Amino acid sequence: MELFAVFLPLFGAFCAGLLVFVRSSKTSTPNRIDTAAQWVTSGAMILAAVAAGVVFWDVVLGNNPRTVELFTWIDSGAMEVSWAIKLDTLSSVMLFMVTTVAAVIHVYSIGYMHHDHSVPRFMSYLSLFTFFMLMLVSADNLVQLFFGWEGVGLCSYLLIGFWYDRPAANAAAIKAFVVNRVGDFGFALGIFAIFVLFQSVNYDTIFAAVPGKADATMVVFGTEFHAITICAVLLFIGAMGKSAQLGLHTWLPDAMEGPTPVSALIHAATMVTAGVFMVVRMSPLFEYSDTALTLVTVVGASTAIFAATVACVQNDIKRVIAYSTCSQLGYMFFAAGVSAYSAGIFHLVGHAFFKALLFLGAGSVIHAMSDEQDMRKMGGLWKLIPVTYALMLIGSLSLAGIWPFAGYYSKDVILEAAFAANTLAGGYAFWLGIAAAFLTAFYSWRLLIMTFHGTSRADSNVLSQVHESPKIMILPMFVLATGAMYMGYLGFESFVGHDAEHFWGQAILVLPSHPALEAAHHVPLWVKYLPLAVGGAGIALAYVLYMGMPSLPGVIAGRVQGLYQFLLNKWYFDELYDLIFVRPAFMLGRGFWKGGDGALIDGVGPDGISAAVKYLAKRAGAIQSGYLYHYALAMLTGLVVLVTWYLFGHGG
């Protein structure tokens, strides 16, 4: 059954890929081929989700964790790598979440991409993307994990740049690919360091050996460092790139250039959650490095507040939700940083449902508004598309952490664990998390009010065509809404409650010296209720500013113009990177091109030889004068040289 869960999306991708070539033939019927590609990939994903549900039931509820070895992949010296499927609670939860959300997005795409000219290619990429994520979460070693890791990076490039006739989409795809390669370089170094330290890349072997290597050191650039810290920090750099943490986050908002289902899949179930999963999977390693855990906590908390501040001033509906993803990923990371790994996964799963719901809801709005994404050109839509409005309201309530929705349970336990960690980094994460919770509620309701309430600011022609999305787009959103409403309540006891230890089994390791999650259940009442209070305050502020006094936000922006521009320009990270990295790289590249390749290699090589031959030919051509005495002189000179050479060379 696990083979069906993992490989059915690959089968769907392969079939849709073949249909790409069939569609290009002159005898094909495009509509029928498009429909076939949509249903074969969607059907395969639905079956994969059912299979993943069966696997989850067997592994978790049936207490049957196992590793299914498919074949030996690499066997070279000490390097022994199998292609295997690891089934424990962590991988089973991820398999079920990824396949379920991906299946919903596939079905939604049938309606959303109906009029596109490259439907088979899109569906093939989407299924391939899902397969690589499933390969990643089911890996039993770091090499297989890296295979899936790079696979989702490749597919993100293909999907973000799907509409390759748009320069902005091409630029966004390249940006995502390059920024992720920066993180992946650190990740690869981390894998190398682990192999040097443990002589293995297999999880079970590494985890069993970690206690014995707790005090081991590693020499880097002539300096001795704690070996496990080096390994953990390098792995986390990879996670920072894939999960868009502060510093390597710049690609994520630009990924909105892809079709909306792509945004939903990247932000909810695949790609960005890979970094969080990897840190949790490697918990037996991170637990032995307080330095690495502190770094994870600080970076996660900083990302949460950074992205929340930027989301408050964005006007593109998809970009608001994109920065929201970045912020929520920060929560997941600082949960892992205070050793509340299960709380991070709890939030990851709940976030997958309500974030996919918000993106698909945004897609429904964009569909209704004739591809308009600027919220300043919307307003008053709730009467025209009430179902979409209700569904996005559910997603926003969960995102804002309002009881009893999924986000309330997971976000609260993360903040409580950060407080209970009783460390400087934990305190930093708690208070920034509280501030981010306030801003999250604010920008969530700012989005709802600007999009659905007030007086419409849309063009009359656009407004006259506003309509509810077809059932094929609406019904999948109900599945996500169900998860956003009930996931928190149903999963609390198992994921982070009294049953957590039995639920997770050996999938997650937390040392007795890191009791933050256990202590989270005993924090003061004000800590428990503060996130809900600030969430309510954020919603109230949004109502006051955008419904009660809609002219006030503009006045405030004018009064604090510098701050407003700072946030609107995303803290100027893009401009800073352009100044420090992009321009020097272009200058260096141009120097190598003009000076190295052009002047040196081509000038001395093929161009130089060509010029020399041309010059010599021209000089030789000048000898061909047509005068007889010139030729006689040349013959006489040659004869003299020949006779001289013979006499002196052989005559003696």
Rounded-to-integer distance, Cα 80 and Cα 76, Å? 6
**Torsion, Cα of 568, 570, 576, 582 (10° steps):** -100
pLDDT the model gives residue 433 = 94
Query: Do residues 538 and 441 lie in contact, with contact meaning Cβ atoms separated by under 8 Å?
Result: yes
Closest CA to 190 of 151, 147, 236, 150: 236
Tokens standing for residue 465: 């065509």
Rounded-to-integer distance, Cα 282 and Cα 289, Å? 12
pLDDT the model gives residue 650 = 64
The model's pLDDT over 436-468, given as tens digits with 9 standing for 90+, comes to 999 999 999 999 999 998 888 878 788 878 888
Tell me the average pLDDT of the chain. Answer: 89
Tokens standing for residue 272: 């960005």
What contacts 621, CB < 8 A, 6 or more positions away?
Answer: none
Closest CA to 293 of 238, 335, 330, 241: 335
The model's pLDDT over 479-507, given as tens digits with 9 standing for 90+, comes to 999 999 999 999 899 899 888 888 998 88
Predicted TM-score (pTM) of the model is 0.89
Mean pLDDT of 466-476: 88
Rounded-to-integer distance, Cα 566 and Cα 269, Å? 31
Amino acid in the structure at residue 146:
F
Rounded-to-integer distance, Cα 509 and Cα 525, Å? 28
Q: Which residue has the tokens 């659905």?
A: 452
The model's pLDDT over 39-90, given as tens digits with 9 standing for 90+, comes to 999 999 999 999 999 999 999 888 888 988 888 888 887 788 888 999 999 9
DSSP 67: E
pLDDT the model gives residue 651 = 55
Query: Do residues 458 and 377 lie in contact, with contact meaning Cβ atoms separated by under 8 Å?
Result: yes
Mean pLDDT of 2-9: 90
DSSP 153-211: HHHHHHHHTSSTTSHHHHHHHHHHHHHHHHHHHHHHHHHHHHHHHHS--BHHHHHHHTG
Percent of the chain with pLDDT over 90: 49
pLDDT class of 107 with cuts at 50, 70, 90:
very high
The model's pLDDT over 141-199, given as tens digits with 9 standing for 90+, comes to 999 999 999 999 999 999 999 988 888 899 999 999 999 999 999 999 999 999 999 98
Amino acid in the structure at residue 30:
P
251 membership: H or E segment, kind and range: helix 251-254
203 has pLDDT over 60: yes
Query: Do residues 472 and 38 lie in contact, with contact meaning Cβ atoms separated by under 8 Å?
Result: no
Query: Do residues 232 and 251 lie in contact, with contact meaning Cβ atoms separated by under 8 Å?
Result: no
Mean pLDDT of 412-423: 92
328 membership: H or E segment, kind and range: helix 317-337
652 has pLDDT over 60: no
